[in-house]
Each structure stands twice: as structure tokens, then as C-alpha cells.
Amino acid sequence: MNTVTLTSQGILLADDRPVEGLPLACLGVQVCLADDCTLRSYFRLIETYPLLSELNPFFEASLEQYRQSPSSGCMEPSLSHLLLTKTVEMIGFPGKPRVEIYHSLYGVHEKGLLEIKEFPLETILDMPLKLGKLKHIVFGDKVDLFEFDTVFTLFEVIDAIVWELSFHGTLLACEIRR
């Protein structure tokens, strides 16, 4: 089992068969998304395999928000799809160099990428979800940017998306305090 596929129904397939029982053995495996995968598929994955929700403390709030959303039609008309990216930044050369690796989830707009925290969850749940390329950025005397095809593990997808969703509601929370 070198890859697993996430279906739109939130089922993991390995060798065209559903992964049954504990999905932990799949966490380090490359994940592919079915063509009809959406952000809702991601939440269905967590509901199908509840043990995965223990990977990150932000799941409780995100799942609650998901469950309060409409069961369909959650589309943001200004976006074509959601894109999960991976970035590797090499920083500080010359000087004391360091490497930072992180993931980001964006809404894809005709003019570029938009942060998803600007959109309520109930407006993006049924948006198609796609995996992007790796951006390699080298900061130094000048900035170099390269893009590469890459793979994402199941763990990276699960953790990166819930991390990005943890910023949902921060704008509302700020408004309530005023």
C-alpha cells in the first residue's frame, strides 16, 4: 500500500478497497484525492475514521462548525476550488541559515490565491479540493522561487487543513469583543 485515495464520501481506498478498522497505518502514505473530493469529503473522512480527530486539538471546534452547516450547496461563487500547498523556505543565507516547511490552504480565485479564513466554513464546504505543488523559496541576497510536483501524506492533509480551519471564526471573535 503506497497510496490511499480519499473518496468524496470520506472513505479511504487502498488497492481499490476501503480501509477498514484503524487508519493509522495510512498516515505516512501518499494520499490522492478523488476528482469529486471537496472540503466536505475531508470532514466525512474524520467522521468515518473518528480516531483521526485525535491528531489535532482543533478538530472539536471545526467538526462542530461543520455539523451546524447546511448539508449541501455550500459553495463560494468567487472561487473555483480550494488548493492545499506545501512550501519550503530557505532563510538567512548569507548569515545563519534555517529551513521552514509549512502547508497552506487557499481559495483559488481568477486573480490568484485567497486565504480561506476570509470565507465562512458554510460557504466553502462543497468546493472542490485539490493538492498543489511544492513551492521552494530561497531568501538571501535575492529571492528565488521554484515550483515542483510533490506528494502529500495523509497526515499532512489532515493536519494542514484543520490547522487552517482553526483560524475560522477569529474575525467573528474579534467583532464580538468590540
Assign 169 a pLDDT band (cuts: 50, 70, 90).
Answer: low
Task: Say whether pLDDT at 99 is over 80.
Answer: yes
Average pLDDT in the 119-134 region? 95
Do the bridges between strand 81-91 and strand 129-139 make them parallel or antiparallel, or are there none, so unpaired? parallel
Q: Which residues pair with residue 50 across a beta bridge?
A: none
Peptide bond into 94 cis (omega under 30): yes
Which CA distances in Å does 172 have to 39, 119, 166? 21, 11, 13
Q: Are 5 and 34 in contact (CB under 8 A)?
A: yes
Instruction: Tell me what percent of the residues of the chain surpass a pLDDT of 90.
Output: 71
**pTM, 2 dp:** 0.87
Average pLDDT in the 151-155 region? 96
Distance CA(133)–CA(117), nearest Å, equals 21
pLDDT given for residue 170 in this prediction: 41
Task: Say whether pLDDT at 52 is over 90.
Answer: yes
Task: Say whether pLDDT at 21 is over 50.
Answer: yes
Distance CA(33)–CA(158), nearest Å, equals 12
Average pLDDT in the 111-131 region? 94
Average pLDDT in the 78-82 region? 97
What residues contact residue 4 under an 8 Å CB cut-off, 6+ apart?
12, 13, 14, 19, 26, 29, 30, 31, 32, 154
pLDDT given for residue 157 in this prediction: 97
pLDDT given for residue 168 in this prediction: 66
Average pLDDT in the 44-67 region? 95
Q: How many helices and strands, by DSSP H and E, does the chain display? A: 4, 9
pLDDT given for residue 173 in this prediction: 39
